[in-house]
Amino acid sequence: MNLLQLPWLEWAILLALVGALGVSRIRNPFRASAWGLAFTGTIFGFTVLAWLGHYFGFKPSERWSLQDYYFGGRFFNLDELSAPLVPMVALLHFLTALATARTKMRRFSFSWSLASEAIRLATFSCHDPWLLIGLLSLCTVPPYIELRNRSKPTRVYVLHMGLFVALLVLGWSLTESVGSQGAQPAWAVVPLLAAILVRCGAIPVHCWLTDWFEHASFGNALLFVTPLPGVYAAARLVLPIAPDWVLHSLGMVSLLTAVYAACMATIQQDLRRFFAYLFLSFSSLVLVGLELVTSISLAGALSLWFSVTLGLGGFGLTLRALEARFGRLSLADFHGLYDNSPALAVCFLVTGLASVGFPGTLGFVATELLVDGAVEANLTLGIAVALAAALNGIAVLRAYFRLFAGKRHAATISLRIGLRERIAVLTLTALLLGGGLFPQLGISSRHQAAQEILKDRQENLRRAERDRSPGGLAARAD
């Protein structure tokens, strides 16, 4: 048997759970950090093997599979969409653990991070709708506990996530009650659509996201949002069954959010809020591409998903490193931090520009594809997408100047970037630049995933047409 045929994916999920339990028993934060790092690193290795197995066409063997042994079937599997997403999520967890500064080790819970990683890996490899809904709901619990543990206000978060879970359950129950697997009637799909909008932070239900960034630790805030689970839910639950008008509505709301958030990012006075709006704008752009449902726009959206997660992940880790040295930072004035930490300034600029799709980075071709798909649908749409991208670029450079330009900050200790942080940010930078300079592999993989999504959707719509025809209705009545 080939090494790649082992069920690495489920072992990764299991290891994350075991790690969470094990690390929770360690009281010393530095030891917990070391163990957390070891677990997240190993989990990342496992997920890479799982991805390689999928890439080379090896099916995981039933012999070593716990899922097959206990449940007689597979709930967690990789397909074209999820195969690269799973190692990406694991990488983000690993690098976040790696880049956790010693000053933050007491506040960053490695055990909860591992538990969240297990849920996230399971979510991104799950296809069964009800299980996915369960996992998406479960995913909202650790952040709540984090807010409670930090004695922060939880009501905004609880209200929005409660609404998300309720709408998700209601929506899927309604679609199941209709019975048909194809395009669903409006009353069944609208709650599902609303749930996605809440989770993705579309306006006017976006305030939970900025509130979350205000109160959570930066590391956990990043891990909760940057893998874009809301977009994954949209791709799995809404895209295959939603009628065109629902997708267009979702696209319009997302586009409005993308532009609104980009505008808000340019005027923010607080670094975290700036990041939250920047993230919101990009995650909405991914949704815009998803809802245009053409192969180009879908490939663009799926590629941008990668770019957003890695780019904003790296950007977020740089901001976190800055916070670890200087505390919460305001953008109301110039701070002159360049001379204190020039490497952080460079990383800030590279990851920030990568996240806005600067040429030579992973997001460049993705943005091109997305704008191309948008223009194909409507020129105004294309203009709005280009406007959002331009505004985000302005917001990033404004933040850069506010943080790193100005009268030099007189430091009493060395504030240079640490080795672990440097490795974490440079790894993401290398991926962003590597993916940008050699984009063919990534783009063709995302195009293939887009084709699969479109094929599924078309089959579902055809089936619905058949069901709605007189013959189909009679057959169902029988």
Partner 1 sequence: MSDLASVMSWLGIFVVCTPLLLVVVLGISSLLKWQLDEQTITRSVQAAIISGLAAAVAILVLMLIDGTRHVVINMGAWVEIPYYHFSIKFVFDRLSVPMAILSFLLTGTIGAFAARYMHREPGYNRFFVLYALFTLGMVVTSLADTIETLFVGWELVGLSSALLVAYYQERPAPARNGLWVWIVYRISDAALLLAAVVLHHMAGEGDFDRLLGTGPWPDGRASLSEVQALVVGLLFLVAAAGKSGLVPFSGWLPRAMEGPTPSSAIFYGALSIHLGAFLLLRISPILECSVILCVVVVVLGLLTAVLAYLVGSVQTDIKAALSYACLSQVGLIVAEIGLGFRYLALVHLLGNACLRTLQFMRAPTLLHDYHTLENAIGDHLPRPTVPMKRLASARIRSWFYRFALERAYLDWWLTDRIVAPFVWLFQRLDALERRWTDFLSGQASRESDQMKPYSQIEELS
Comparison of 35 and 208: residue with beta carbon closer to partner 1: 208
How big is the chain, counted in residues?
478
Q: What amino acid occupies position 425?
A: V
Distance of CA 148 to the CA centre of its chain: 23
**Per-residue x/- mask for partner 1, residues 29 to 58, rule CB under 8 A?**
------------------------------
Q: What amino acid occupies position 307?
A: S
- Find, among 119, 134, 9, 81, the residue nearest to 306 by Cα: 81
Which of the stretches 55-63, 65-73, 77-85, 292-300 binds partner 1 when contact is defined by CB under 8 A? 292-300
Residues in region 297-316 near partner 1 by CB under 8 A:
299
Q: What amino acid occupies position 387?
A: L
Contact pick of 149, 444, 458, 469 for partner 1 (by CB under 8 A): 444
Separation CA 387–CA 308 (nearest Å)? 17
| Helix runs in 235-361, H state only | 244-267, 271-292, 295-326, 342-355
Separation CA 457–CA 459 (nearest Å)? 5
- Find, among 130, 133, 319, the residue nearest to 221 by Cα: 319
Say if CB 94 and CB 47 are below 8 A apart: no
CB of 429 to partner 1, least distance (A): 7
Is residue 17 within the footprint of partner 1 (CB under 8 A)?
Answer: no
Which of the stretches 127-135, 246-254, 326-334, 463-471 binds partner 1 when contact is defined by CB under 8 A? 326-334
Contact pick of 256, 326, 434, 452 for partner 1 (by CB under 8 A): 326
Say if CB 401 and CB 334 are below 8 A apart: yes
Is residue 386 within the footprint of partner 1 (CB under 8 A)?
Answer: yes
Comparison of 224 and 404: residue with beta carbon closer to partner 1: 404
Residues in region 139-168 near partner 1 by CB under 8 A:
153, 155-156, 159
- Find, among 403, 228, 242, 369, the residue nearest to 298 by Cα: 369
CB of 288 to partner 1, least distance (A): 15
Residues in region 67-106 near partner 1 by CB under 8 A:
103
Is residue 224 within the footprint of partner 1 (CB under 8 A)?
Answer: no
**Per-residue x/- mask for partner 1, residues 184 to 213, rule CB under 8 A?**
-----------------------x--xx--
* 3-class state of residue 162 by DSSP: helix
Separation CA 205–CA 254 (nearest Å)? 12
Separation CA 93–CA 115 (nearest Å)? 11
Separation CA 83–CA 127 (nearest Å)? 12
Comparison of 153 and 185: residue with beta carbon closer to partner 1: 153
Which of the stretches 45-53, 189-197, 382-390, 461-469 binds partner 1 when contact is defined by CB under 8 A? 382-390
Comparison of 235 and 417: residue with beta carbon closer to partner 1: 417
Residues in region 255-284 near partner 1 by CB under 8 A:
263-264, 266-270, 272-273
Is residue 412 within the footprint of partner 1 (CB under 8 A)?
Answer: yes
Is residue 26 within the footprint of partner 1 (CB under 8 A)?
Answer: no
CB of 185 to partner 1, least distance (A): 32
Instruction: Check whether the bond before 204 is cis (ω within 30° of 0).
Output: yes
CB of 462 to partner 1, least distance (A): 21
Contact pick of 248, 409, 463, 466 for partner 1 (by CB under 8 A): 409
Residues in region 113-132 near partner 1 by CB under 8 A:
none
* 3-class state of residue 320 by DSSP: helix
